[in-house]
Amino acid sequence: MKILSYNVNGIRAALKKNLVGYLKDSQAHVVCIQELKALQGQVEMEEIESIGYKHYWFSAQKKGYSGVGIWSKVEPKHIEYGCGHELFDFEGRVIRADFEECSVISAYFPSGTTGDVRQDIKYEFLEYFFEYIEDLRKTIPNLIICGDYNICHKAIDIHNPVSNKNSSGFLPEEREWMDQWFENGMVDSLRKYNPEPDLYTWWSYRANARANNKGWRIDYISVTEELESKIQASGVDAHAVHSDHCPIWLVMDS
């Protein structure tokens, strides 16, 4: 079973850049999308459907903003829209698909780059989401949590850790949250088989950052420790250029 996660930074723009062709070649069974920036009725999905995907959307109520989705070739038992928090559900940040052996979440964590107010909302989300997952694990221990976490965990995950030490996305408080996340029964699936540096998932549009691979790893697929033994392979597809992010993927023994 292959699971892929991709912040597309606008689904309509990504589809115009042959996202369908990429997904067809990827042969992913489940695709988690972040930053849809559209309502379902605004997007023609016939091509996605033609390659086998059923699609589930949880868009932000604010037009052109945020939004998450799960597209799957495997019929879910249940789709859970939102995480039960009024603001974060208004912003379309979490959707979950329950399958027979596991549940898959597509999540788009808030960014704090626009100022103190949004940074405080980001911290609120981190606290709430941690507790939300803790509670969820009591009934669904096999969780796969995909998405744009908007945090670089370690120095290896960012091209210049020294100059970015005071940047949102690499702040000590954010990195401490990631420490707790991975010390509390979560596994960073990419790092299980890929310990090398320079594996980034987002690049600024400025200063030719992508061509020079001056990026940040802010997208993750975390799995609960109950599923760690089922991880067969993981990676990033840096060649995919439908967005300022690139896809990340995980192959599980189903």
In this structure, what token pair is assigned to residue 61?
Answer: 């109520």
- Cα–Cα distances (Å) from 156 to 170, 184, 199, 213, in that order, read 11, 21, 8, 13
Classify residue 167 by burial, with Cβ atoms within 10 Å: 0-12, 13-18, 19+: middle
- 179 part of the active site: no
Rounded-to-integer distance, Cα 132 and Cα 135, Å: 5
| DSSP-assigned beta bridge partners for residue 3 | 30, 250
Q: Please tell me which residue in 116, 120, 148, 219 is annotated as part of the active site.
A: 148
Q: Where is 193: in which H helix or E strand?
A: helix 189-193
Torsion of CA 149, 154, 156, 161, to 10 degrees: 100
Torsion of CA 117, 119, 122, 128, to 10 degrees: -70
Burial state string for 229-238 with b = 16 or more CB within 10 A and e = fewer than 16? ebbeebebbb
**Nearest of 116, 102, 217, 99 to residue 158 by alpha carbon:** 217
Specify the residue for token string 């967005």: 243
Q: Which positions are catalytic?
A: 148
